Structure 1
Amino acid sequence: MELKALLRTRTVMSFVLAVVCVLGPTLSALADTSGTLPKASSTSGGAEAASNSPKNLIPTYAEVLDGWKKNGAKDNHTGSMTLSAASVTGKSANANVTVESYDGKNNVLVWRAKGDEWIEYDLDVAQGGLYTVEMSYHPFVDSRDRKPIALSLSVDGVSPYLEAKSLELYRHWKDKMPIVKDDNGDEIRPAANDISSWQTWELRDMSGAYLDPLLWNLTPGKHKIRLAGSDPMALESLSFKAPVPVADYEAVKKEQPKNIAPVVADPIVIEAEQVGWKNDSSITLAFDNDIANSPYVRGKISYNTLDGSHWSSKNQEISWSFDVPAAGFYKIALRQQQSLVSNRSSFRTIMINGKVPFSELKAYRFPYATGWKGRELANEKGDAYQFYLEKGSNTISMRVTQAPVISAAAEMDKAIATLTKLSTDLRTLTGGVDDKNRTWDLKKDLPGFVEQLQELNDNLATTREQLITINGRSDALSQGLVTVSKDIETLLKYPDEIPYDAGRMNKMQGKLADLVKQLSSQPLQIDRIFIVPVQSSFPKMESTFTEKIEGSIINFFNSFRSKEVSEKTDDQVLNVWMNRGRDYVNLLQSMANESFTPQTGIKVKINLLKDDKLLLLMNAAGMAPDVGIGLPHDTPFDYAIRNGVYDLKQFPDFDEVYKQFAPGAWMPYFYDGGYYGVPETQTFSVMFYRKDILQNLGLSVPDTWEDMYRMLPVLQQNGMNFTPVEHSIFMQMHGLEYIKQDGSRTGLNTDKGFEAFKEWTDLQNKYGIDQRSDNFVQHFRDGSYPIGIADLNGYLQLTVAAPELNGVWGVAPIPGVKQADGSVARWTGGNGGDQFASSIFKHTKKPQESWEFLKWWMSEEVQEKYGLDLETLNGVTFRWYTSNVDSFVKLPWKEEDLQAILEQWRWFREVGKVPGSYYMERELTNAWTRTVIGGENYRTSLETAIKEVDREIQRKMQEFHFVDANGQLVRSLNLPVITKPWEGVDKYVKK
């Protein structure tokens, strides 16, 4: 009866939703706008209205440029204008700008931005047409400010296209040389120094999607040019120039000097790792044990190549300098490896002395090939290109470009949008219920659905052929499209059965989103660059068969040399095992040598622990370390109940260390009155929102769940939705404890527990939120989820994978529950998989030395330096989520985002652990499945889960002697209870 009532309710909801869709514009106008996001002038005007996308309000550059050219905009004019950056004619009230001298240049604009600010210039255009914009700038070289300078540029209050809102001015980096070696004689991967100085850059889209710099259409007359950003820099000038076409090789060859005497000179050899500069600190060096690589040191790690996997995206650029002995014609080749992605070509823009010499080098293709190969820069026939070089210092630069594949990626994005629309139509038709007892005639019940699905399949087939042409062969991406097409063909074979399994549409969206993500990777590994006179031969660039055999034998025997945990410990030093990658280990060892050992006199050896499961085996063999760091969040508890780790409360100054971290971060490491681990890293959920879409819909960022429920109909009537949410948000915000304080059973068997569970499942049953989401970042990018909840990893993914959205999305605390005193409670736990801890092992002979190391390791200064150096070495995706808030705030966060994260941090409360509590997650997921998918009554479903969890807890509590054979509690675990938000963040929160 309850299931039938539920189905009737959903049927009524479907009808109401249909009415809402009809009355959408009216409802949207009536939406609460009392707290709407302020509309910046840089996003106002007609450009947004020109978008043909219902979600992304601003059209793309390709769309706008095509329209400009069709309307007669010219790029073959002679106009040129330069604005002095000091001649500011307008600025925001908070703009921190002065005109002064900076690094050798006078009367430049020094912009010490501290938040979202803008400046304006007046520009008088004599010749109308399409213009590039070149900026002369100087980044501030600061130990904490390491990211590119983010800007948006608008003309007369309008951002003409999406890419104009997300521009970047890059820094220049250079690796620290010579490379330092560790105690084993292995090189330690060097970090990079910021060597930025005055430099110029023609503005490009930050994703590397176009071959040429961006263009702006400027009509004759006066215009307002606005730059908006939040990153400090010095600015000398803005130059508006007509685009300079790049001729093809044959045309350039005709213009080169004639009758030049052949050059007689030795080959110029550039070691790829010896870069002049790179515009991204995360372009790192790599060790490759191919015997022909240079330098090659037998049995040792030598960073002898440029890491292709880290040089693969956006506008990542590297420049090398070399000296030419005599003016004349030369040819160029690379010893390179292009097998990092199976069967995939990679593309580079190649420049000589800062300019692309001819059009064929705008997107030069490096085809897939196994192993290291010598690759001459040549045409499709294999004829080497000839480069005229002047005597003296020259440069060669290579920049990643996505341009050849961007049209295919755009088609795949359209396919994802189509699938999203079809999924929404299907959900509206079925009310979100996969009713096996209903018969469908999809062509009649949902006109046009089958035809759109067939058209989508045809378009994917065209895209697949396009990818094969671009790539030069079939690869995993094109085969992935075949898989999606087969899924669609299966649906089309029996279209009337599609409503019975609507979830397959979401799965196809996820597959396509993964393929689009793969498409953006263009890796290329380089060992050496060779420049030789055209009449000369290149040096040998590939190893011979004999050398390959020799190298294989050497590498085979070297493989037995342990690079992981040492098989025996050294009693003379403090042995620390780190469950992270080698770069993490090397960086910490270097810092320990530099500061910890000189300060304390305690020698430390940091060992690489590749798999935390080895701890169990090594501990059983009596070979446990003194300290373990980077341990999964459940490891300290698992060892604590088996007397395997040290109770940190035994140290007299433990309370001082305890206060440095949020009380909720300590919960997983508490057991029987003691704490057995120090919270090392943590992450938690925050809310992400699209400023542009919410603004257009007249919606404000929700503060409570009631606010969220009110905005859902407006989102859904526009084909949008909200992310699925994990249970901790609803359980904890209602004041529930997952486990009773004595540890004997769950704390969910209360009226509040059932109410919270019902609210959680009502997201799908009542409010129509999707049951699952395969790819939050993709949904957020295409606007189908313009607001949603994800952990901090989502922040980095959006920063890296969605550069086109820079400046149009924000972060807020998750919605909460309003309390009697008017405050809003936002309690939530973290993402267990990203919580890591440090512990002291029980059998250590150096407990005090181990404790001193842990205090040093988790101190503010060390955590800040470690996080900054790690990010410099590997890029923003390696952001260090330190649990030390004093260090966290000093990492390169955007200020407004940091404030939202800190507000959520104060409500962080991880779930405590007791023996058997590992059943909780599984059984709550089962309960959700029974209620949402199976239609079971929420109370009955949760009761079943509670019984299963309580049974397992009782069994394990008896095993560890907290409960007797009769099920009676012998002694309480006395779990900590946290009821107040953490005040430790208050000193950093701006009121």
Structure 2
Amino acid sequence: MELKALLRTRAWISVMLALLCVLGPTLSVLADNNGALPQAGSKAGSIDHTTIASKNLIPTYAKVLDGWQKNGAKANHNSSITISGSKLAAKSANANAAVGTYNGKNGVLIWSAKGDEWVEYELDVAQGGLYAIEMSYHPFVDSRDRKPIALGLTVDGLSPFIESKSLELYRHWKDKLPIVKDDNGDEIRPAAVDISGWHTWELRDMSGAYLDPLLWNLTPGKHKIRLSGSDPMALESITFKSPVPVADYLTVRNGLPKDAPPVQAEPIVIEAEHVEWKNDSSITLAFDNDIANSPYVRGKISYNTIDGTHWSTKNQEISWSFDAPETGFYKIAVREQQSFVSNRASFRSIMINGNVPFAELKAYRFPYASGWKGVALADDQGVPYEFYLQKGTNTISMRVTQAPVIPIAADMDEATETLVKLSSDLRTLTGGVDDKNRTWDLKKDLPGFVDQLQELSDKLTATREQLISINGRPDAISQGLVTVSKDIETLLKYPDEIPYDAGRMNKMQGKLAELLKQLSSQPLQLDRIYVVPANKPLPKMEATFMEKIQGSLINFINSFKTNEKSGTADDQVLNVWMNRGRDYVNLLQTMADEIFTPQTGIKVKVNLLKDDKLLLFMNAAGIAPDVGIGLPHDTPFDYAIRNGIYNLKQFPDFDEVYTKFAPGAWMPYFYDGGYYAVPETQAFSVMYYRKDILQNLGLSVPDTWDDVYRMLPVLQQNGMNFTPVEHSIFLQMHGLEYYKQDGSGTGLSSEKGFEAFKAWTDLQNKYGIDQKSDNFVQHFRNGSYPIGVADLNAYLQLTVAAPELNGVWGVAPIPGVKQEDGTVVRWTGGNGGDQFASAIFKHTKKPQESWEFLKWWMSADVQERYGTDLETLNGVTFRWYTSNVDAFAKLPWKEDDKQAILEQWKWFREVAKVPGSYYMEREMMNAWTRTVIGGENYRTSLESAIKEVDREVKRKMQEFHFIDTNGNLVRSLNLPVITKPWEGVDKYVKK
């Protein structure tokens, strides 16, 4: 009966999901209210459903601009209005904004934003029309934040288009030169230094979707301009001006001097890696061993090019400067590689001295080609463009643009939404059951379905042809569209059989989503830029056939050489193996050479460990390192029970180190009274919520799971839901103990254990939460999961990949369980895949030196600098999840979000390990499957899991002599007991 009820519920929810798919994900109109949420107890569910989950609630810029132009809005006016940053009309109550002096300029707004804040200006427009907005600003260079300044802009309380909610003002960066080398003579990739000053920037959409800056339609009269954000900056002025049209090449060329004398000078060669500035610190240098690259050092790593894979998205821009020896006409050529995605072209906006000189360079196409090529900037017939340059310093800038492929992306996105809608319609029809015994007449049973599917196939064909035209040739994406079209044609051959294979619709959605993801990348690798007098030939830019043969031979020989000799150890230095990427290793080596060795006199060699499984073999061969870093969280325990690593409690000052980390973070590294590793990174989950959707639904952020249960009907009535929750997140706060304190078996068999397991499975069986979630971030963006639990990786993904949600989502501690005394318990385990540790191996001859290194490595100052430098080098997605809370609190987290994360941190308690504990995860999931999928009684199912886990734990406890052959406990593991939240974060949590 319960299963039938569940199926009926599922069918009903499918109807609501169909409504959701038609309406699409919601976007905020609440930024003007600071994203405030209603108080607990406010009326929920009494809403106008047309305001919820509508992707088009705030339309795109393209649609709005088209509407403005059709209604007569003109851009060809001469009006220009400048507002001083100091002339505030209003500001939010929490805004840290004052007028002062910053970096040489007086009377500017110094906005030391610490949370979601806003400032407002009044604008008096005499001449109506379309205006571009230019800002003169200065990022806070001394701030710990490394990302661009994110802003939302409203006019008279409204966001006219979705792109206005996610604007960015960029910093300027420059690689630290000269590049230093390691002991092997290889260059170490340099970190970028923030060189930001006072900059001007015309506001653009942050994705690079449009060729020109954004425009706003301002009618005559007074307007209120509000800027909202949470990133600190100084603001000198905001200028509203008419857009400057860019003519085509022939028009521009005809307007230049016709009698300019030929330039008599040698070609100017610019090494691409020597940038004047770049607007993203994650645009890094790359080593390429093509023999024609400059510089080329045989057998050594030399960072001699701009990394194409890291210069491929959004508005990433690089600028180079050079001196023109004479005034006159020049040609420009580049030595580039564009072979990252088969047959795919990449596009760049190219500026000379800050401006696009003619329209053809707004989105210049670099076609796909295998290997390195010398390419002159030229027209469709290959005739090089001529650039008129003044004698002296000039600049060339290139900015990534997605504009040419945006129409394709829009078509593919629309096709995906159509498939989602059709899939929902199909699930509604079938109730989610593929009944092979039922006969369907789809045209009658689901009117319009077949016609929509045919129309979708035709649209995909047209999209493919348009993509080929833009790209210049067929590519993997256009071929992928052929595959999807063929899948649709296969379904249309026998439409009445579609309900028997509804899963194919979901597979097509996945294919389109993956193709759409590929479309957003525009990689381009550069070695050199050439500025050549127009009357002179271009220099040789590619290797000859014989040089290529020579280079291949050299690279082949060098491939047998390696500088990473992890299998050997130098007795004169401390050997550290790091289980991370090369950039991580190089950064740590640099810091050790710069800080640790001068302080202690201990020389350190940090080696790259490409696979942690190699430790097992090398340890058996007696060639393990002194220290291992980046070890998976389950590795130390496996070595501890086999006497392979050091018990850190042997060191006299261990207790002092212990107090610097959450007690719950030490749990996986405890064994038989000792601790065998230091927690290095710590990842756990928090709750994410959409402010806009919850306010529209009249819901408040839940504090307990009872609050969640009360809000679920409202969410589900509107086609939404809460995320599934992992057992380690849910069960501990509900009173479950995974193991007995002596380690002899599970602690699941208590009544609290059964109650906790039932509460966990009731999330699906009773409350209708989905059984699994394939992609939380995507569900969160489209509004189907406006609230849910996810790890910190989701935070970074939303920060980077969901600019449209700026200011309308927040973070809170995970809902807890209220106790009799009124306190709310939020115990939760972590995400083991993102938790790593550092340990000392037992064979080391330098235990004290190893311990000194571990203490230094995990100290607050070192962890803070390591995390900061890592993020500067690679971008915000490389945020370092340090276990040192003193360092964590100083990394560039948004203040409000950091408070929520730290509040959850105090309740972090990882599950302890015992011999045989690897069975727990498998059996817990088996028990869940039996109860939720199979409908088995929760108590019977959990008892089966307990029996299996206890059998394996007992077997392993006997193997390691904790239990004798008669099954009697010989000695206890004495697992730590943590009953109080950690007070170590209290100094950072605001009351």
* Aligned-partner Cα distance in 1 for 2:152–2:473: 38
Note the 1:87-486 alignment, pairs <5 A. Answer: 87-142=87-142, 144-429=144-429, 446-486=446-486
* Aligned-partner Cα distance in 2 for 1:619–1:22: 57
Quick check: 1:862 aligned with 2:862? yes
* Aligned-partner Cα distance in 2 for 1:766–1:506: 26
661-670 or 920-929, larger mean C-alpha shift = 920-929
Offset at 1:641? Answer: 1.2
* Aligned-partner Cα distance in 2 for 1:49–1:435: 33
146-155 or 213-222, larger mean C-alpha shift = 146-155
Offset at 1:707? Answer: 2.2
Residue type of the alignment partner of 1:675: Y
8 A contact 1:52–1:59 mirrored in 2 = no
3-state SS, counterpart of residue 643 of structure 2: coil
8 A contact 2:16–2:718 mirrored in 1 = no
Name the residue aligned to 2:2. 6
1:558-599 deviation digits (Å, cap 9, x = unpaired): 112223343321111111111111111111111111111111
* Aligned-partner Cα distance in 1 for 2:730–2:548: 60
725-734 or 885-894, larger mean C-alpha shift = 725-734
* Aligned-partner Cα distance in 2 for 1:838–1:884: 13
409-418 or 325-334, larger mean C-alpha shift = 409-418
Quick check: 1:560 aligned with 2:573? no
* Aligned-partner Cα distance in 2 for 1:22–1:481: 25
Q: Structure 1 vs Structure 2: percent identity of aligned residues?
A: 80
* Aligned-partner Cα distance in 2 for 1:461–1:939: 55
Residue type of the alignment partner of 1:295: P
1:491-535 deviation digits (Å, cap 9, x = unpaired): 555656655665555444444333322222111110000110112
Residue type of the alignment partner of 2:829: G
Name the residue aligned to 2:42. none
**1:661–1:436 CA distance, 2 compared to 1 (3 A):** farther
Residue type of the alignment partner of 1:610: K
Note the 1:453-852 alignment, pairs <5 A. Answer: 453-489=453-489, 492=492, 505-852=505-852
1:645-677 deviation digits (Å, cap 9, x = unpaired): 101111111111111111111111111111111
Name the residue aligned to 1:29. none
3-state SS, counterpart of residue 201 of structure 1: strand
103-112 or 867-876, larger mean C-alpha shift = 103-112
Residue type of the alignment partner of 2:594: E
Give unmatched runs, 5+ long, in structure 1: 25-35
8 A contact 2:345–2:472 mirrored in 1 = yes
1:715-742 deviation digits (Å, cap 9, x = unpaired): 3333333323222222122121222222
**1:931–1:141 CA distance, 2 compared to 1 (3 A):** same
Residue type of the alignment partner of 1:939: R
Offset at 1:942? Answer: 2.9
**1:509–1:817 CA distance, 2 compared to 1 (3 A):** farther
500-509 or 689-698, larger mean C-alpha shift = 500-509
386-395 or 934-943, larger mean C-alpha shift = 934-943
Offset at 1:432? Answer: 5.3
Residue type of the alignment partner of 1:587: L
**1:455–1:721 CA distance, 2 compared to 1 (3 A):** farther
**1:432–1:588 CA distance, 2 compared to 1 (3 A):** same
**1:604–1:50 CA distance, 2 compared to 1 (3 A):** same
Name the residue aligned to 1:990. 990
Offset at 1:172? Answer: 0.6
Note the 1:40-55 alignment, pairs <5 A. Answer: 40-41=32-33, 54-55=54-55
Name the residue aligned to 1:28. none
| CA RMSD after TM alignment | 2.5
Name the residue aligned to 1:33. none
8 A contact 1:191–1:869 mirrored in 2 = yes
**1:390–1:147 CA distance, 2 compared to 1 (3 A):** same
Offset at 1:543? Answer: 0.7
* Aligned-partner Cα distance in 1 for 2:757–2:442: 35
Offset at 1:933? Answer: 3.2
**1:323–1:173 CA distance, 2 compared to 1 (3 A):** same
**1:347–1:711 CA distance, 2 compared to 1 (3 A):** same
**1:688–1:563 CA distance, 2 compared to 1 (3 A):** farther
3-state SS, counterpart of residue 348 of structure 2: strand
450-459 or 745-754, larger mean C-alpha shift = 450-459
8 A contact 2:31–2:807 mirrored in 1 = no
488-497 or 921-930, larger mean C-alpha shift = 488-497
8 A contact 1:400–1:522 mirrored in 2 = yes
* Aligned-partner Cα distance in 1 for 2:717–2:7: 17
8 A contact 1:331–1:532 mirrored in 2 = yes
8 A contact 2:116–2:229 mirrored in 1 = yes
8 A contact 1:322–1:393 mirrored in 2 = yes
* Aligned-partner Cα distance in 1 for 2:117–2:438: 57
8 A contact 1:43–1:157 mirrored in 2 = no
3-state SS, counterpart of residue 850 of structure 1: helix
8 A contact 2:18–2:424 mirrored in 1 = no
* Aligned-partner Cα distance in 1 for 2:614–2:15: 60
* Aligned-partner Cα distance in 2 for 1:18–1:541: 60
**1:745–1:495 CA distance, 2 compared to 1 (3 A):** farther
8 A contact 1:56–1:782 mirrored in 2 = no
Aligned pair count reads 973
Offset at 1:755? Answer: 3.1
Offset at 1:761? Answer: 3.0
3-state SS, counterpart of residue 830 of structure 2: coil
TM-score norm. by structure 1 comes to 0.94
794-803 or 468-477, larger mean C-alpha shift = 468-477
Offset at 1:411? Answer: 2.4
Offset at 1:477? Answer: 2.4
**1:22–1:206 CA distance, 2 compared to 1 (3 A):** closer
3-state SS, counterpart of residue 210 of structure 2: coil
271-280 or 630-639, larger mean C-alpha shift = 630-639
3-state SS, counterpart of residue 225 of structure 1: strand
1:315-334 deviation digits (Å, cap 9, x = unpaired): 11000000101111111111
3-state SS, counterpart of residue 234 of structure 1: strand
* Aligned-partner Cα distance in 1 for 2:258–2:568: 70
8 A contact 2:298–2:554 mirrored in 1 = yes
1:817-857 deviation digits (Å, cap 9, x = unpaired): 22222222222211111111000000001111100100000
Residue type of the alignment partner of 2:813: P
**1:262–1:20 CA distance, 2 compared to 1 (3 A):** closer
* Aligned-partner Cα distance in 2 for 1:7–1:472: 55
* Aligned-partner Cα distance in 2 for 1:164–1:17: 34
489-498 or 697-706, larger mean C-alpha shift = 489-498
**1:958–1:52 CA distance, 2 compared to 1 (3 A):** closer
3-state SS, counterpart of residue 95 of structure 1: coil
3-state SS, counterpart of residue 65 of structure 2: helix
3-state SS, counterpart of residue 577 of structure 1: strand
* Aligned-partner Cα distance in 2 for 1:224–1:815: 39
* Aligned-partner Cα distance in 1 for 2:11–2:409: 37
Name the residue aligned to 1:32. none
8 A contact 1:709–1:767 mirrored in 2 = yes
* Aligned-partner Cα distance in 2 for 1:271–1:437: 69
* Aligned-partner Cα distance in 2 for 1:450–1:934: 35
* Aligned-partner Cα distance in 1 for 2:812–2:338: 42
Residue type of the alignment partner of 1:13: T
Offset at 1:392? Answer: 0.8
8 A contact 2:273–2:527 mirrored in 1 = yes
741-750 or 639-648, larger mean C-alpha shift = 741-750
**1:339–1:412 CA distance, 2 compared to 1 (3 A):** same
